Amino acid sequence: MSLIEQVSNGNGSPLAQSVERSAKPARLKAIAVVGLGYWGPNWVRVISQLQQADQIVCCDLSAARREQIAKLYPEVKAVESVDDVLNDPDVEAVVVATPVNSHYEIARRFLEEGKAVLVEKPLAISLKQAAELVRLSRRRQRTLMVGHTFEYSAPVLKARELIESGELGEILYISSVRANLGLFQRDINVAWDLATHDISIILMLLGQMPESVACQGQSHYRSKVEDVALLTLHFPNGVIAFIHVSWLDPNKIRRATIVGSHKMVVYDDTALQEKIRIYDKGVTFQPHYDTYGEFQLSYRYGDIQIPRIEEAEPLKVECEHFIDCIHTGKVPKSDGVSGLRVVSVLEAADISLSNGGQRVPVSQEAFGWE
């Protein structure tokens, strides 16, 4: 097995790790960002700060958006059409930050042209499209990554470490809330917009796919575009996860509670510091011998621990990882298959939503892709 293969397999051997550490920062001739609306400029900023590309090409159909970016970053090359990026032989990698319904077509064209692609979340608007992108990236042997930003966030990684170490005990359930006022989307509902993050986080934390999902929601301002939704994910090991998402909430909430049989964790992404709190709280069954056959519950109220977490900007970590994967051939942590898994859950959630919230099986097709 080559060194690159060892690294790409996520093999944690010391040799593989030392190869990663000693590797020179990768450099690209040019990287492009397509879509300079609300989110795309964040990509331009981190790419510019990382300085791992000789040239940044910025693409948007809107002249106003191109002018705005050119004012902020005079060194970038601003172009109008995807064709300008496709035909630029120096562009080795592209970040697609356009509206979700355009992801598939734009990403497909870049992959066909042999460029590495990072598609913002969610990967595509259907399982069929997502699978096609994964297939294409494999055929062309080009990196395909999806913008599951929170998978690169230090508090989320800390939560995973706590689960994997067994410190929380058996995971009983996860409850996640992501709410604020706006930004209403036109092409996708609030589940596809916001719950994408929670689903990617939960799948990463639990390391498994849900068997089924139930979803209820309601649209108040745009016909058939739900602005509030509640998803329930049922996992094969009995774990249940609730995700409440809303564009109609007076407060910005980004909070997940992970309840284990020994300890519980609250992750609050809006906290400036102390994003993770570990509660040494729990419930134990005590057999009650006075009355035969009855049981009592006893509650444990222990300490609250706040681990120190060194936090780098998740988008910057994600960007570095993308460029590194292009150079080393490593499989990205949030690769196309990871995008496919999240889209499978969202697609099942859509079916449930239109069936009054009934449980719908989640396609396990993503398993065939390992």
Could you list the residues that contact ligand NAD (CB under 6 A)? 34-40, 59-62, 65, 82, 97-100, 102, 120-121, 147, 149
Q: Which residue has the tokens 């774990």?
A: 239
| Nearer to ligand NAD among residue 120 and residue 324 (C-beta) | 120
Minimum distance, C-beta of residue 94 to ligand NAD, in the bound complex (Å): 11
Minimum distance, C-beta of residue 223 to ligand NAD, in the bound complex (Å): 19
- Contacts by 65-68 with C-beta closer than 8 Å and gap 24+? 65/36, 65/37, 66/36, 68/36, 68/41
| Nearer to ligand NAD among residue 77 and residue 281 (C-beta) | 77
| Nearer to ligand NAD among residue 7 and residue 106 (C-beta) | 106
C-alpha R_g of the chain: 22
- Coil, strand or helix: which one is 301? strand
Minimum distance, C-beta of residue 227 to ligand NAD, in the bound complex (Å): 15
Minimum distance, C-beta of residue 61 to ligand NAD, in the bound complex (Å): 4
- Rounded distance between C-alpha atoms, residue 366 and residue 370, angstroms: 8
| Nearer to ligand NAD among residue 154 and residue 240 (C-beta) | 154
Minimum distance, C-beta of residue 95 to ligand NAD, in the bound complex (Å): 9
Minimum distance, C-beta of residue 19 to ligand NAD, in the bound complex (Å): 29
Minimum distance, C-beta of residue 101 to ligand NAD, in the bound complex (Å): 9
Residues in the chain: 370
| Nearer to ligand NAD among residue 107 and residue 362 (C-beta) | 107
Nearest to 264 by CA among 156, 159, 152: 159
| Nearer to ligand NAD among residue 99 and residue 307 (C-beta) | 99
Q: Which residue's C-beta sits nearest to ligand NAD?
A: 37
- Rounded distance between C-alpha atoms, residue 181 and residue 225, angstroms: 15
| Nearer to ligand NAD among residue 60 and residue 92 (C-beta) | 60
Nearest to 144 by CA among 120, 119, 121: 119
- Rounded distance between C-alpha atoms, residue 349 and residue 254, angstroms: 21
Minimum distance, C-beta of residue 282 to ligand NAD, in the bound complex (Å): 33
Minimum distance, C-beta of residue 107 to ligand NAD, in the bound complex (Å): 11
DSSP state of 52: -
C-alpha distances in angstroms, 88 versus 81, 85, 110, 319, 349?
12, 5, 11, 21, 39
Q: Which amino acid makes up residue 108?
A: R
- Rounded distance between C-alpha atoms, residue 318 and residue 154, angstroms: 11
- Rounded distance between C-alpha atoms, residue 68 and residue 62, angstroms: 10
| Nearer to ligand NAD among residue 39 and residue 242 (C-beta) | 39
- Rounded distance between C-alpha atoms, residue 121 and residue 125, angstroms: 10
What are the DSSP E strand ranges found in the chain? 28-34, 53-59, 77-79, 91-96, 116-120, 144-147, 171-181, 212-218, 228-234, 240-246, 248-260, 264-268, 276-288, 294-305, 360-361
| Nearer to ligand NAD among residue 168 and residue 343 (C-beta) | 343
**Cross-strand pairs, 217:** 229
